[in-house]
Amino acid sequence: MSETKKDAPAAAPAPDAWTKWVALSTTLLAVCAAFATLKGGSFSTKTQLATVSASNKWAYYQAKSLKETARDTESTIIKVIEAAANTAEAKAAARKAIDHADEEIKRYKAEKAEIMKDAVYLDSEAAYSQARGGNFGLAIMFLQIAIMLSAIAALMKKKVFWVIGLCAGAIGVSYLTYAWPLYEKLNPPPVAPVHADAAKAAK
């Protein structure tokens, strides 16, 4: 019987209690990383859409500028014709054409001002979304580092890696907290412009 007791396999060592906390903290960090990835992707999409829309607005602005320049040139030419006209009818016709060209120039200037408001707003919105998305990106980076260090700690049974990972995770959660509920309060988003037609309608 003594030999039977000696041959019995030794009991497996009990796992360290801290490894359970490693598993729990890694799960929480993974959830935070997933949320940061989702929100960061959302702001990345918003940045791209705003950038494309701003480019379109600036192209539209340039088209209006070309039309304005053409009308201005037309007005200048007709003024020369008006000065050289010998009859009252010719001068009246030239003056009518000049007045029409000047009205078109005023209209293009007003339209350009409205278009510029939209373009500047979209540029600001793109910059805002990019800056906010950058904070989500930093949160993802630190959270991934924390998850990696926690995995190393569990595999190598080295508590120091877990502690370092928790520090990295805390930084990641701080960036996530700043980017999500606090950023908009500390840095208000750009306000959409009010156009002249909308302002008149509101009155």
pLDDT tens digit sequence for 74-127:
999 999 988 888 888 888 999 999 999 999 999 999 999 999 999 999 999 999
Number of domains in the chain: 1
- Which among 130, 142, 144 is positioned nearest to 183, based on CA atoms? 130
**200 falls within a domain:** no
pTM (two decimals): 0.79
**199 falls within a domain:** no
For the chain, helix (H) and strand (E) counts, in that order, are: 6, 0
**198 falls within a domain:** no
Q: What is the mean pLDDT of residues 170-193?
A: 92
pLDDT higher for 163 or 194?
163
Cβ(144)–Cβ(117) under 8 Å?
no
Q: What is the mean pLDDT of residues 179-192?
A: 90
Token digits of residue 181: 């509920």
Distance CA 59, CA 101 (A): 23
Distance CA 125, CA 123 (A): 5
Distance CA 100, CA 196 (A): 22
**45 falls within a domain:** yes
Report the pLDDT value the prediction gives residue 1, as an integer from 0 to 100: 43
CA distances from 140 to 28, 111, 137, 146, 170 (A): 13, 43, 5, 10, 12
Residue type, 129: S
Cβ(138)–Cβ(175) under 8 Å?
yes
**57 falls within a domain:** yes
DSSP state of 157: T
What's the domain range around 125? 20-192
**8 falls within a domain:** no
**14 falls within a domain:** no
